[in-house]
Amino acid sequence: MAGVTGVGVNGAGGGMLGREARAQYAAMARLRWRMFVHGLGSIHGLLDLGATGIAWVFYSILGLGLGVGLCAAAYSLASSASWQYLPILFWAISFLWLLFPVLIASFQEQSDLGILLRFPVHFGSYFLLYLISGLMEASTIVGVLCCLGVWLGIVMARPDLYLWTTLGLSMFAVFNILLVCAVFAWIERWLAQRKTREILGAAFMVLMVSVLVINGVFSQKRLEGRKSHKEQAAPLSEALDKYAPLLKTANLVQQWLPPGLSARTLQRTTEQKPVAGFASLSLLGLWVVVAGSALAGRLKAQYRGQNLSWASSRDKATDRGSGWTLGGSGPFAAIVEKELRSLLRTLPLLWAVSVPLLFVLVIAGVFHRSPSSGMNSFPYAFPLCVAYALLGFTGLFYNNLGAEGAGIQLLFFSPSRSGQLCWPRICFTPSCSSS
Amino acid sequence: MENPAIQTNGLTRLFGTLAAVEDVTLSVAPGQFFGFLGPNGAGKSTTIKMLTGLLEPSAGTIDILGQRFGPESRELKRQIGVVPEGMALLGRLTAPEYLHFVGRMYGLDAATTNQRTEELLEFMQLAGEGRKLVTDFSHGMQKKLAMAAAVIHGPKVLFLDEPFEGVDAIAAGMLKNMLTGMINRGATIFLTTHVLEIVERLCSHVAIISKGRLVAIGSLDELRAGVASALPGVEQGQRFTLEEIFLAILGADGHRESTQELSWLA
């Protein structure tokens, strides 16, 4: 078998669009397709596909909802020529585009192109494949739908701005895609850590409930209706006056950043200053180059074999010496001690233990003024239902032998009765919660 | 004089402050079956990762087939085959699909890839498992598939990280025959394994690494002579096994004492 090198070899060269590179793209595409098809052949694969489908529907609905909202806002701003407020929309999209993937990172599989490094793959091909995997991210769907919303809103109000809006928003979208890819490539080491993913997962759940509760607070304020619009606006006006210099400086700075530049491109065009509009667009292009370079820099390092997640795992040769023991003897004490160690080292377990208490406090806080103040608790019904539903997930982390993994065999091998093995687990978490 | 097939100079890899591999300088001649030994965590897999471009060295140089090896060395990567630690298989593919993927990634055309895939599956006795997903393969079958993927493009230098781990005796014999055949046809093989008998039978030269540093290198006879001269009371002509050499070089006496302390063991 050896010594047949050269037979049937496509040949090197041609760069990232050469014959060999194209054959490699085809092989990658076929690989993904075959993996998908085989995935359908098993229950696990079908469930996986179902979960992915539901997630994509959720992201699409989220993106469509935000897109419609942004479309209305953009239409309103463009038709009233309030271009000075347009950057707010672009900044909102940018934050969402960047924050959303970081928060849902714990629920997603991170794409790892490390398997390609053993093959004679051109760096350009490696870069391109990474970018394509970035395009498949949920944040891209949501972000692009938001951009489409803004584009539609502006073009409906000002059809004459079709070209500039298309150019500005396209470049803005490309910048965000590159930025998110670059950020992810750089924080790979951080995301590779189990604890980080756990923290982000918990943060996402808290954020979901918090947003719903905040919405409830606003609804409550609206329902109270005790103050007139004028009264409500007064404190806001005072605050704006107080922070005016700061806001002015922030506005000056944001104009030079991508969301500001995207908005300024359109603003300048409407002011009949196409050269200034073009200059803003060019600066935005420069930002695209900066984001692309940041991504290329990290990927080049990955391509050289500088794998941050490996470094992270090897680097952290931390001493996890036990330091303490619970004492006692027999399986009951041993299992309780094991559960306690697992609890202290696993954030989802801590979350599972603490979150019921947290929700009790939140619910108590929401309702305790209700009878005397006549507060309407109806706006909080939905967030509390969501919070209650989330409690269901916490139950998966404990009293579940599946979480033991391969270690479960040790329990079965031990010369103990099944009751001795199960009771400590059944008693442990409720004891922690109640204490 | 012919260039070495593999040459490293001061090869070092740091993970933070931990030196996984430190200042490793070695040379493997073309056509040599080279055994790279060491205890767990000694730095064997890290060295292989660096030699195959999967991990960037912190310092030092690597030359393969007389050329400086780096990430852009695509032509050299075409000459290298590797069975990496963990095998890097794609579980949700069938064996033919996986080999087809690997062949195309190495730049083989479709016809050649198909032909070699068939031959390799036949040779590895995996031809009857064409519809099974790799994830459903036994460990030994996965090793055989990883080996097939490592040689599908006909590499001149082969890096094998624990290729015999979990492989049954019949399959191991088959793999050994294949590797010996490759050596006879001029390939160079760099092998890490804990099965010292295999190294003793197959390898002409051996290096031993411990705590990231190379502690011995040479032909088996050179290592035997070195150990014989270092140990007191060795009779002339006494032939050491590789296990004895290994334990003598790594100072396994301490290990024996600690075992004796476990007097409560039956």
Q: Give the tens place of pLDDT for each residue, A198-208.
A: 777 777 777 77
User: Smallest CA–CA separation between B87 and chain A, in Å?
Assistant: 10
pLDDT band at B50 (very low <50, low <70, confident <90, very high): very high
B50 vs B48: CA distance, rounded Å: 5
Count of residues making up chain B = 266
Residue A169 has pLDDT above 80, yes or no: yes
Residue A108 has pLDDT above 90, yes or no: no
Of A424 and A130, the structure prediction assigns the larger pLDDT to: A130
Q: What is the mean pLDDT of chain A?
A: 78
Residues 6+ apart with CB under 8 A from B168: B140
Contact at CB, B101 and A31, closer than 8 angstroms: yes
Given this model, what pLDDT does residue A2 score? Answer: 40
Contact at CB, A5 and B155, closer than 8 angstroms: yes
Taking one residue from A and the other from B, the number of pairs with CB-CB distance under 8 angstroms is 144
| Best residue of A118, A122, A302, A312 to probe chain B, by most B CBs closer than 10 Å | A118
The question of ipTM being above 0.85 is answered as: no
Of B170 and B23, the structure prediction assigns the larger pLDDT to: B23
**Residues of B with CB below 8 A from A4's CB?**
154
B144 vs B138: CA distance, rounded Å: 10
Tokens at A229, concatenated: 């619009």
Tokens at A419, concatenated: 């009751």
Given this model, what pLDDT does residue A321 score? Answer: 55
Kindly report the number of other CB atoms within 10 A of residue A419's CB atom.
11
* Kind and range of the H or E run holding A395: none
User: Smallest CA–CA separation between A28 and chain B, in Å?
Assistant: 7
Given this model, what pLDDT does residue B82 score? Answer: 93
Lowest mean pLDDT among A4-18, A301-315, B40-54, B188-202: A4-18
Percent of chain A with pLDDT over 90: 21
| Best residue of A20, A119, A122 to probe chain B, by most B CBs closer than 10 Å | A119
Of A2 and A420, the structure prediction assigns the larger pLDDT to: A420
Smallest CA–CA distance from A305 into chain B, residue: B55
Query: Do A196 and A309 meet the contact criterion of CB atoms below 8 Å apart?
Result: no
Percent of chain A with pLDDT over 70: 69
Residue A222 has pLDDT above 70, yes or no: no
Pure H helices in A316-435: 330-345, 347-367, 370-373, 381-394, 408-413, 418-434
Contact at CB, B108 and A10, closer than 8 angstroms: yes
What is Dmax (Cα atoms) for chain A? 89
What is Dmax (Cα atoms) for chain B? 63
**Residues of B with CB below 8 A from A35's CB?**
90, 92-93
Of B74, B7, B85, B1, nearest to B43 (Cα)? Answer: B85
Residues 6+ apart with CB under 8 A from A362: A209, A213, A384, A387
* Kind and range of the H or E run holding A254: helix A244-254
A6 vs B79: CA distance, rounded Å: 10
The CA-atom distances, in angstroms, between A199 and each of A52, A102, A196, A293, B30 are 22, 11, 5, 30, 52
User: Smallest CA–CA separation between B227 and chain A, in Å?
Assistant: 33
Lowest mean pLDDT among A166-175, A238-247, B79-88: A238-247
Amino acid letter for position B157 = V
Find the mean pLDDT for residues A80-99.
89
Of B142, B131, B146, nearest to B97 (Cα)? Answer: B131
Kindly report the number of other CB atoms within 10 A of residue A315's CB atom.
15
Question: Which residues from A are below 8 Å from B when comparing CB atoms?
Answer: 1-12, 20, 23-24, 26-27, 30-31, 34-35, 38-39, 45, 114-123, 301, 303-307, 310-311, 314-315, 317
Q: Is B65 left (phi over 0), alpha (psi -120 to 50) or beta?
A: left
A69 vs A338: CA distance, rounded Å: 51
Q: In Å, how far from its chain's centre is CA A40?
A: 27
Of B61, B69, B55, nearest to B20 (Cα)? Answer: B55
pLDDT band at A429 (very low <50, low <70, confident <90, very high): low
Contact at CB, A10 and B109, closer than 8 angstroms: yes
Give the three-state DSSP class for B28.
strand
Of A20, A49, A86, nearest to A263 (Cα)? Answer: A86
Residue B120 has pLDDT above 50, yes or no: yes
Contact at CB, B54 and A45, closer than 8 angstroms: no
For the segment A297-343, what is each residue's pLDDT rounded down to a tens digit?
989 988 888 766 555 455 554 555 556 777 777 778 888 888 788 77
For the segment B144-163, what is each residue's pLDDT rounded down to a tens digit?
999 999 999 999 999 999 99
CA dihedral A291, A293, A297, A302 (to 10 degrees): 70
Query: Do A370 and A377 meet the contact criterion of CB atoms below 8 Å apart?
Result: yes
Exposed e or buried b for every residue in B120-129, given b needs 16+ CB within 10 A?
bbebbebeeb
Given this model, what pLDDT does residue A414 score? Answer: 77
For the segment B179-233, what is each residue's pLDDT rounded down to a tens digit?
999 999 999 999 998 888 889 999 999 999 999 999 999 998 898 888 888 777 7
In angstroms, the first-to-last Cα distance of chain B is: 59
